[in-house]
Structure 1
Amino acid sequence: MNSTSEAYPIVSRHAANAAGRDFVVGDLHGCVDALRYLLREIVFDPACDRLFSVGDLIDRGSQSEEALALLDKPWFFAVLGNHEEALCLVAEGIMRRSVWDGLGGDWAQAVPERVLRDYAKRLRTLPLVRVVGSGPKRFNVLHAEFFGDDDALDVGVFTERVRQQLLWGRELALGSGIAERQAGLSPTYCGHTPMREMGRIGAQIFIDTGAFAATGKLTITEALTPRAWSVSVEQAVAEGARQMSLP
């Protein structure tokens, strides 16, 4: 990761959206049909609206490669999730395929090694954090969890332990993390740990509602508002999502 961390920002910054709306979507996990449905529900306008992703685009669902194709959309902005990290580690020869299979990466068994390496190269350009806006209009997007304030996040120099927390951490979600350690942190959207409903702990807003699970759903929220929309893959497909086009 050292060479890529020098070439690409660990923290990406975005100006506030003065022309349209900003949305954040939970862990996709290959459930693109649910995303198609929700984008229609929110009347998403690709000319001025933006969609930020908390990562974990791939694995477990049936449309991982379609989810990876979202990275080429000019309105789509993702951070690296632990499942993308797993793909990269396999492609780089660091993680065994069997370990990734256990995380839901078995869809890639049919993907040629060359293509997998291309995916990894693209994913290594993703930041760990996205910071949007400033002042009271600021929000952050990351995958799992972060303990610290905006200033610490902005510096973007993370120890390996903090990097692992950003990708894999569950202390806050499981009740063993101290929310007060997030004093001075702007509203921060994250996923990683599936929740029954979108909810907030400390500064962090958890929006992974288990899209890939039989009883789960995909959730999109309009940033810095209480508005949120959710749908299960089953319902989305029943409503004709597979015939809907992405913006």
Structure 2
Amino acid sequence: MEKHAANTAGRDFFVGDIHGQYDLLMEAMQRVAFDKKVDRLFSVGDLIDRGADSFKCLSLAFEPWFYGVRGNHEMLALNALEQGGKHWDLWLANGGTWALSENIKEVKQILGEALRHLPYFREVELEDGVRIGLVHAEPPHDWSEIEQADTEQLVWGRTRIKQRDDSPVANIHAVIVGHTIIERPVALGNVLYIDTGAFHTGRLTLIDAREVFQ
């Protein structure tokens, strides 16, 4: 498990699905006066697809201030580039066409390296001992079982939000997720959804970790 101790030097932020909207991210960071030397940015995944700057956004995985988890779009790309065929068609149909104007060999190489920095989940501690989990789509009902969780659920799951299930995830204070587009950030139990559809709404949610419980 990727665990992050409290950031005593700066602030922590969570950002929704970026989907190639590099400029939107830079604007959002500028608005909060993000300091790359001491602040940390935690991403719920889907750095790529649907946006023209997907390659640039994939490279965020290598920044020392950026901590992402992998989303279903990173997995779509991986399957497409490794297996081709129907996986390739599926990726292109879901926003992977940006790769056609890049060097495909290079995209495959950078994606492979980026995924080493994009685990399925992370856990962030705040200064008061509060622990916040991070997955792309859907956490298990008990955070202590995250290591054994079904990875399909972590990157593709939508059961909780479809059923409006507001039962809290046990053994964690809150979990931040993306994947499902909502108009504005919404909490179901202690799970906070922050994907506001940046690629078609132009709204990218960036939230200060201290505001998660407000």
Q: TM-score, normalised by structure 1?
A: 0.80
**Identity among equivalent pairs (%):** 37
- Residues 25 and 219, structure 1, Cα contact 8 Å, conserved in 2: yes
The one of 114, 124, 142 aligned to 2:105:
114
Question: What do residues 48-106 of structure 1 show as CA deviations (whole Å, max 9, x unaligned)?
Answer: 10000000000111210110121121100110000001111111116521110111001
CA displacement at 1:227 relative to structure 2: 9.2
| Number of residues of Structure 1 aligned to a counterpart in Structure 2 | 211
SS in 1 for 2:91: helix
Q: Does 1:20 align with 2:5?
A: no
- CA change 1:181–1:204 in 2 (3 A) is closer
* Cα distance in structure 2, aligned partners of 1:78 and 1:114: 23
* Cα distance in structure 2, aligned partners of 1:68 and 1:227: 29
Equivalent in the alignment of 1:234 = none
* Cα distance in structure 1, aligned partners of 2:89 and 2:52: 19
Amino acid in the other structure paired with 1:171: T
CA displacement at 1:216 relative to structure 2: 4.5
Equivalent in the alignment of 1:164 = 152
Runs of 4+ with deviation above 3 angstroms:
none
* Cα distance in structure 2, aligned partners of 1:76 and 1:165: 24
Equivalent in the alignment of 2:131 = 138
Q: Does 1:195 align with 2:182?
A: yes
CA displacement at 1:226 relative to structure 2: 4.8
Map of 1:1-247 to 2, 5 A cutoff?
11-93=1-83, 96-125=87-116, 126-133=118-125, 136-153=129-146, 156-158=147-149, 162-175=150-163, 178-180=165-167, 182-213=169-200, 215-226=201-212
Question: What do residues 5-31 of structure 1 show as CA deviations (whole Å, max 9, x unaligned)?
Answer: xxxxxx311111111100000000011
SS in 2 for 1:130: strand
Q: TM-score, normalised by structure 2?
A: 0.91
CA displacement at 1:225 relative to structure 2: 1.4
Give unmatched runs, 5+ long, in structure 2. Answer: none
CA RMSD of aligned residues (A): 2.0
- CA change 1:226–1:127 in 2 (3 A) is closer
* Cα distance in structure 1, aligned partners of 2:193 and 2:57: 20
SS in 1 for 2:206: strand
* Cα distance in structure 1, aligned partners of 2:22 and 2:104: 24
* Cα distance in structure 1, aligned partners of 2:66 and 2:151: 23
- Residues 55 and 107, structure 2, Cα contact 8 Å, conserved in 1: no
